[in-house]
A and B are shown apart, each in its own frame.
Chain A
């Protein structure tokens, strides 16, 4: 066993951890921003919009994230001239940009599915009652449908955030030095294979259960009305 390695490479591991956090945060935020219009399209009465949203969701949920990552990172090379002409090549050349793009699109598809499902699950009678009371569509959504949809969706959404956090480990394959990438580099330098990977596994476990703890608190907050009625 060679535990000295861990002390020597501690700063490098921290920088990897930081990139993992950064990627997770960006993917979750940007993914949410993409998921909201996709959800509205999916619930829309316009067939074209619904079909478009559903095909995007089907593609990103039906293919591995690794394929999506390669499609964007390596695939963009095929269109280099075009991308150069419109000034986008400098973005697609960067592994970081491609990683954020792939992770965001991927999580957006799953989140759309979760949100659309949750909104559909809100009791129809409440919507009818709201209309009968003369509420405008916006007010109806804001004070009746969305708060309840959030409650229904929260658990799955929290799980999706944990999934995408773990999925960021794939970016190490396109040369980014996140926690997994750093681990690979340290392993190739020191040959302390199982020591490094076990420690990294423990770090991921710590992040996962840290998130689980926080999300559980949020869930308790969202479900606070249930507790009062139980008393």
Chain B
């Protein structure tokens, strides 16, 4: 069915980059989201405003524009500033790094909202009870709050991951050899664009399907002792 004359292997090799960008960006998104949510629920006003500004801005701009802004805009901006100070700098972003950072930054905003919702579900009374039992603040957080936050965050984070994986297709625009770009190569070489892109589509479907299975497993695991 997928007679792409060996190019299907090339596309599958592109999967390595797609998954690497996706997983690293997700890791970054989780870290940003966690601290973003802490900032959003903090009592320090400027920290709260900063986090709100961050999530609101990211939500308002298409991923493609942010990606182009980071990949092409940031090096130019740095060069212009350096030139203003009479330095000559040639800066080129590695597409892998630019893609990972941008996607992590974008989906960090989405996971900030997820974590904020999860933080809010743990009632204040539980923390007070934990302190009353003589736990230190760190113990309260690690033993009482965190396990519950993870439980409530998993469905939301899974959604973020599903969106993020699909968004990785955009890094092909900045010349990273992911599934999309390898598919383009295959399509041009074999003159079978439909077959090639359908093959790529099935690979993404496979990722989605596996993700759903993993999500179900994680949800079950973190719901232990809760039903």
Instruction: Spell out A's residues near B (CB within 8 Å).
Output: 1, 58-59, 61-68, 70-71, 74-79, 166-167, 169-170, 172-173, 180, 183-184, 187, 191, 193-194, 197-198, 200-201, 204-205, 208-209
Selected A-B contacts with CB under 8 Å, 30 pairs: A1-B80, A61-B208, A63-B201, A63-B205, A63-B208, A64-B168, A64-B204, A67-B197, A67-B204, A70-B183, A70-B184, A70-B197, A71-B194, A74-B193, A75-B197, A77-B193, A77-B194, A78-B193, A78-B194, A166-B63, A169-B62, A172-B64, A180-B62, A184-B68, A193-B76, A194-B73, A197-B68, A197-B69, A201-B61, A201-B65
B166 touches A78 (CB 8 A): no
Complex interface: chain A residues within 8 A of B16 (CB): none
CB proximity of A47 to chain B, nearest CB, Å: 21
B198 touches A62 (CB 8 A): no
Complex interface: chain A residues within 8 A of B180 (CB): 64, 66-67, 70
Within residues 116 to 144 of chain B, which ones have a CB less than 8 A from any CB in chain A?
none
Beta-carbon contacts of B48-79 to A below 8 Å, as 1s and 0s?
A: 00000000010111111110110011101100
Complex interface: chain B residues within 8 A of A64 (CB): 166-170, 180, 204
Given A64-B169, A71-B194, 19 additional A-B pairs, CB 8 A: A64-B167, A64-B204, A66-B172, A67-B180, A68-B201, A70-B180, A70-B197, A74-B197, A75-B194, A78-B192, A78-B195, A173-B173, A180-B62, A194-B69, A194-B73, A194-B76, A197-B72, A201-B69, A208-B60
B60 touches A62 (CB 8 A): no
CB proximity of A61 to chain B, nearest CB, Å: 8
CB proximity of A2 to chain B, nearest CB, Å: 9
Beta-carbon contacts of B163-200 to A below 8 Å, as 1s and 0s?
A: 00011111011000000100110010001111101101
Main secondary structure of the interface of B (DSSP, over half): helix
B209 within 8 A of A: yes
A67 touches B61 (CB 8 A): no
CB proximity of B207 to chain A, nearest CB, Å: 8
Given A64-B167, A198-B73; A205-B61 close (CB under 8 Å): yes
Residue in B60, B74, B166, B195 whose CB lies within 8 Å of A65? B166
Expressed in whole angstroms, the Cα–Cα distance for A204 and B194 within the complex equals 32
Complex interface: chain B residues within 8 A of A187 (CB): 72
Expressed in whole angstroms, the Cα–Cα distance for A165 and B80 within the complex equals 32
Residue in B64, B77, B200, B205 whose CB lies within 8 Å of A194? B77
Complex interface: chain A residues within 8 A of B187 (CB): 74
Expressed in whole angstroms, the Cα–Cα distance for A167 and B208 within the complex equals 20
Expressed in whole angstroms, the Cα–Cα distance for A62 and B173 within the complex equals 20
CB proximity of A165 to chain B, nearest CB, Å: 9
B201 touches A59 (CB 8 A): yes
Closest to B190 in A: A78
A62 touches B205 (CB 8 A): yes
B194 touches A79 (CB 8 A): yes
Given A197-B69, A198-B69; A71-B197 close (CB under 8 Å): yes
CB proximity of B27 to chain A, nearest CB, Å: 20
Complex interface: chain A residues within 8 A of B169 (CB): 64, 66-67
Expressed in whole angstroms, the Cα–Cα distance for A200 and B197 within the complex equals 30
